[in-house]
Structure 1
Amino acid sequence: MKMSAVHYVVVLGLVAIAVISDVYWSRGNNQNRNATSNIPNSGEVKDDELREFSESLLNKDVNNAAKYVTINLQSKTTSRSERDEAPLPLLSIDKEAFKISSIGKLLNLHDNYVVESNVNEHYTPQEKNEENNLLDDILNTSIMQHTRNFLIEKGKIGRDPKEFKDIMREIWFNMYSRGGGRIGSSGFEHVFLTEIKKGQVSGLHNWIYFNDAEKKNEANYLGYMKKIDLGNKGIILKYHFTFHGIDKPVGSMFIGTSPELEMALYTTCFILRADKICPLKLYGSRFIIRTYTYRYRGKNMIGSAFPDI
């Protein structure tokens, strides 16, 4: 059956809203896109330097879990489709993957957050300890050490390791309000988990959380639009899904990569190219990462970060 002109316009409108939701969610009322109050400013880093850097990180991804992940892509779809082109789950993960240190510590944070962004988060000492454990684990990896050295070389941070950890904690874990005065969001929650605000799904750019949500029947994979192969280290996927029955026409995430690789790429792009295109390369394939600043109480935090293919 053909759609009427009115129906077609409505569908296109809904898709447009979903695609840009991450962008608008990431902008605070007092945001200054050029503000760098908590991150030093220095010379511009060339695109080819970013591509070379990202490729070197993939080679260092020793905690990569792709060998434990079975990806069932099934059929292609579009952002406008109302059909489920993938009746089976997207992911099947061997339990060995969850024994990887950073993945296990990431899983510990899954129950620390309320999915509704307009609900105050209650931050407990145990939750702070779990964040510290994850940060310490990630910062001790060769991936994050290489990232820190790269940012030092480019004049973006000093040589004190504590400074880098403080920046990581601030941009990823500082809580902020996305509206209504409720302190119910953070960069980490948005990117590595997900959020719902005013009936829309935003975030959910991490395969570990998506797998968890699939197993709980909270997420339903509807098919994919595009993928980039990372050899034996996973893929980057652009896909259509629902979460808690709410449609998100376009989502994207790495699959199989370690938490430290993803956090290193997002952090680097946020520090060097926040609110701009960040051109990278993995396994010979070029793509971009987009990061958006959320300005809150004089600080720049990550509002959103995701691969764009």
Structure 2
Amino acid sequence: MSLTSQRTSYLIVIVSAIIASVYWSYGSNHQPNTRPNLPSSDVTDDDLKQFSENLLDKDVNNAAKYVTINLQSKTTSRSDRDEAPLPLLSIDKEAFSIASIEKMLQLHNNYIVESNVNEHYTAQEKQEENNLLDVITNTPVMQYTRNFLIDKGKIGRDPKEFKDVLREIWFNMYARGGGRIGSSGFEHIFLAELKNHQVSGLHNWLYFEAEEKNNQANYLGYMKKVDLGDKGAILKFHFTFRGVDKPVGSMFIGTSPEFEMALYTTCFLLRADKICPLSLNGHRFIIRAFTYRYRGKKLIGSAFPEI
């Protein structure tokens, strides 16, 4: 064998040994990624519609049986007449004993309605937020939502991760202008805000009923209603809040806090800033969930049903 052939054979042996060493090292140390990383395009419209229908079946804390809806007359967004002299909702006291509703009501006095005023975040308020998350993450609604998001590759299997995601996107405070940190996704959607003499948010039936009872909100009539059978309704309506007109508002009525948060969270994580088509009781509608980017984080800016 020539010297050149010997050198070639020697190099082949060395290279083969290196490749084998790398292969076995990789095989023994590398753990496959068991969490899929699917883009939201892999979640079909039918997936979302089936998810929402299944979620309604699992809403064990639904309070619709304790709620009377007094629709009264229809109106339009341009009308300046009060077509509904009576309050929109009447809620039996039993509803307020439902665990997730009871915990959510404790947050009603934690926020300043003007969005351009700095919020003072106390330890007690943080604990109340944690208490709400502890209760809702143990419900069938949120457990089903977590598994759905795991299957779609949006979160890992660690239960703590799901709770951390909810805490971040819903309760992280941010500034909506003027540099003052006075807003959050939760405050905007489940309560209400005033900014530049306009009503912002207010998409929750429990808060609306409380404010109308305190003469701070006034229902003026409705434009459209979607019936959810014995699980409540979705309402598009006209109202005022703190004397400021909101020509068009929308909210679920009778559904649990975790149900609403689950739908908004899912649409935010899978279809943020896009149409999120859902179905409840056979009725198709959409949710719009908008991103608010603040200090490098993608948080919920707003979310609401559109019918």
Matched-pair contact (CA < 8 Å) for 1:55–1:281: yes
Aligned twin of 1:175:
173
Matched-pair contact (CA < 8 Å) for 1:214–1:220: yes
- Give the whole-Å Cα distance in 1 for the aligned partners of 2:287 and 2:40: 21
Matched-pair contact (CA < 8 Å) for 2:231–2:254: yes
Q: Which aligned pairs between 1:1-309 and structure 2 lie closer than 5 A?
A: 41=39, 43-309=41-307
Report the residue type matching 1:83 in the other structure.
R
Q: CA deviation at 1:103?
A: 0.3
Deviations 1:81-101 (A, max 9, x none): 000000000000000000000
Aligned twin of 2:29:
none
Once superposed, which parts of structure 1, at least 4 consecutive aligned residues long, lie more than 3 Å away? 39-43
Highest RCO, 1 vs 2 (Cα 8 Å, sep ≥ 6): 1
Task: State the TM-score, normalized to the length of structure 1.
Answer: 0.87
- Give the whole-Å Cα distance in 2 for the aligned partners of 1:75 and 1:267: 33
Q: CA deviation at 1:190?
A: 0.1
Report the residue type matching 2:196 in the other structure.
K
Matched-pair contact (CA < 8 Å) for 2:40–2:271: no
- Give the whole-Å Cα distance in 1 for the aligned partners of 2:141 and 2:196: 37
- Give the whole-Å Cα distance in 2 for the aligned partners of 1:148 and 1:202: 29
Matched-pair contact (CA < 8 Å) for 1:143–1:260: yes
Identity of aligned pairs, percent? 79
Q: CA RMSD in A?
A: 1.0
Larger Rg: 2
**Matched residue SS, 1:306:** strand
Matched-pair contact (CA < 8 Å) for 1:227–1:238: yes
- Give the whole-Å Cα distance in 1 for the aligned partners of 2:160 and 2:64: 31
**Matched residue SS, 2:234:** strand
Runs of 5+ in structure 2 lacking a partner? 1-36
Matched-pair contact (CA < 8 Å) for 1:109–1:130: yes
- Give the whole-Å Cα distance in 2 for the aligned partners of 1:142 and 1:64: 12
Matched-pair contact (CA < 8 Å) for 1:43–1:154: no
